[in-house]
């Protein structure tokens, strides 16, 4: 199918094309959202994922700055979470057990016996329905997914929606909505891995990261939070002033070791409402991304476990620290932690969440 302009009045524009075919014959659609200011995003219907995002550096050179794969086998396998909309519950639920109103639901689990990112067949592996949209000077795509009662063990029928909108200045806004017909738990996130030097260019250890958070959640050896919020003060998790990633992931703190030699933790964000919570920058090239969200938590994962088995769109393998994920979210294992912010959604309520990634060069 040739590219077809779907939104052509004003700026940016949206085009669509068939990107791939699934083993069962269904077609995967790619929407390209283009901005004349220099930022362009590519979104796939498979996993409602951001497959690529092109941004200029300080000299105007455009590079794809998110990790992604082209092969369907990878997108349904080891690369399933790269850039995807993750759900029904992002991050981990211990032992696949989710209590809701006194009833404990047994969820589908992965190796290790925990539920990660909604289970082995979570939202990242699904084909979403999408339509182009425009809101003022923003253009993009709105994708919807119907998740039936009992899907991966979760109670209630969930109707989920995610909208990607790009504006001319390089701001990518991601809005989430969901409703249910029975009490359930919901925690949706965006799982892009950023490398501001360019996809496939190597490790992000030379990137600088700032996170507006006074606390974080320490984890056990299986990356399940072990209890109360801990202060970041005096730890490698204190990123209230920007720090070079490579200088923190070599710290001797046991928490760094438990995550495989880096970060894979939830920061407890300061403030409320839509606010700036993190800044990632690449000093050598000047690219910078600010992360804003309405969510209470941010999972920072430095790609510690990439082992070269995945090959990106650049044709180069992804090895340790090939990208960094900034996953806005509620806290992991919240269904089993009543002291954490609740993730319960009930009939008649609407789950809403907004995350913004604002790209620039300096």
Average pLDDT, the chain: 95
Q: Let me know: does 49 contact 70? Beta carbons within 8 Å.
A: no
Least confident piece of the model among 31-40, 96-105, 263-272: 31-40
Coil/strand/helix, residue 151: helix
Closest CA to 128 of 90, 99, 164: 164
For CA atoms 331, 334, 337, 342, give the dihedral sign. Answer: positive
Residue 36 CB partners (closer than 8 Å, separation 6+): 11, 12, 168
Q: Region 168-192: what's the mean pLDDT?
A: 97
Q: What three-state secondary structure class fits 335?
A: helix
- Percent of the chain whose predicted confidence (pLDDT) is above 70: 97
**pLDDT for position 1:** 43
pLDDT value of residue 111: 87
User: Distance between CA atoms of 29 and 113, rounded to whole angstroms?
Assistant: 34
Class of residue 272 by CB neighbours under 10 A (exposed 0-12, middle 13-18, buried 19+): exposed
Cis peptide before 24 (omega within 30 of 0): no
327 in catalytic set: yes
CA dihedral sign, ordered 32, 294, 209, 265? negative
pLDDT of amino acid 266: 98
**How confident is the model over 208-236, as a mean pLDDT?**
97
Average pLDDT rounded to a whole number, residues 119-141: 96
Which two three-digit tokens encode residue 351?
């789950």
pLDDT at res. 37: 67
The dihedral formed by the CA atoms of 85, 90, 95 and 97, expressed in degrees to the nearest 10: -100
**Is residue 134 packed enough to be buried (19+ CB in 10 Å), middle (13-18) or exposed (0-12)?**
middle
pLDDT at 38: 79
The predicted pLDDT at position 352 comes to: 98
Catalytic residue among 191, 207, 265, 330: 191
Distance CA(254)–CA(14), nearest Å, equals 47
Q: Given this model, what pLDDT does residue 289 score? A: 98
Active-site choice (81, 282, 327, 330): 327
What is the model's pLDDT at position 12? 87
Q: What would the pLDDT profile of 6-60 be if each residue is shown by its tens digit?
A: 443 348 899 999 999 999 999 999 999 997 667 999 999 999 999 999 999 999 9
The pLDDT, as a whole number, for residue 83 is 98
Give pLDDT, residue 6. 46
Residue 105 falls in the annotated catalytic set = no
Partners of 269 in beta bridges: 213
In this prediction, residue 301 carries a pLDDT of: 98
Does this model's pTM top 0.85? My answer is: yes
């Amino acid at each position: 199918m040739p590219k077809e302009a779907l939104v052509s009045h004003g700026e940016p524009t949206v085009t669509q094309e068939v990107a791939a075919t699934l083993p069962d014959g269904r077609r995967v659609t790619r929407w390209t959202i283009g901005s004349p200011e220099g930022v362009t995003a590519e979104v796939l219907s498979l996993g409602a994922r951001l497959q690529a995002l092109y941004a200029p550096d300080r000299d105007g050179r455009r590079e794809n700055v998110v990790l992604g794969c082209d092969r369907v086998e990878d997108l349904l396998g080891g690369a399933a979470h790269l850039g995807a909309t993750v759900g029904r519950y992002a991050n981990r639920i211990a032992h696949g057990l989710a209590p809701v109103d006194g009833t404990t639901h047994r969820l589908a689990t992965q190796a290790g016996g925990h539920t990660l990112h909604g289970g082995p067949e979570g939202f990242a592996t699904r084909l979403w329905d999408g339509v182009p949209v425009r809101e003022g000077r923003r253009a993009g795509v709105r994708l919807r997914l119907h998740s039936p009662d009992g899907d991966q063990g979760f109670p209630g029928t969930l109707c989920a929606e995610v909208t990607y909108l790009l504006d001319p200045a390089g701001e990518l806004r991601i809005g989430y909505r969901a409703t249910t017909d029975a009490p359930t738990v919901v925690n949706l996130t965006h799982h892009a891995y950023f490398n501001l030097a360019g996809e496939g260019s190597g490790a992000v250890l030379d990137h600088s990261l700032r996170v507006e958070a006074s606390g974080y959640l320490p984890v056990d050896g299986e990356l399940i939070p072990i209890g109360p919020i801990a202060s970041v003060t005096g730890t490698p998790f204190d990123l209230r002033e920007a720090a070079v990633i490579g200088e923190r992931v070599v710290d001797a703190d046991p928490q760094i070791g438990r995550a495989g030699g880096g970060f894979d933790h939830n920061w407890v964000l300061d403030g409320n409402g839509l606010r700036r919570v993190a800044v990632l920058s690449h000093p050598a090239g000047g690219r910078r991304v600010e992360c804003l969200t309405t969510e209470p938590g941010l999972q920072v994962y430095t790609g510690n476990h990439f082992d070269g088995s995945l090959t990106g769109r650049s044709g180069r393998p992804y090895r340790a620290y090939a990208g960094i994920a900034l996953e806005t979210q509620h806290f992991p294992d919240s269904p089993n932690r009543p002291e954490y912010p609740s993730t319960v959604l009930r009939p008649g309520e609407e789950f809403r969440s907004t995350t913004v990634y604002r790209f620039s060069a300096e």
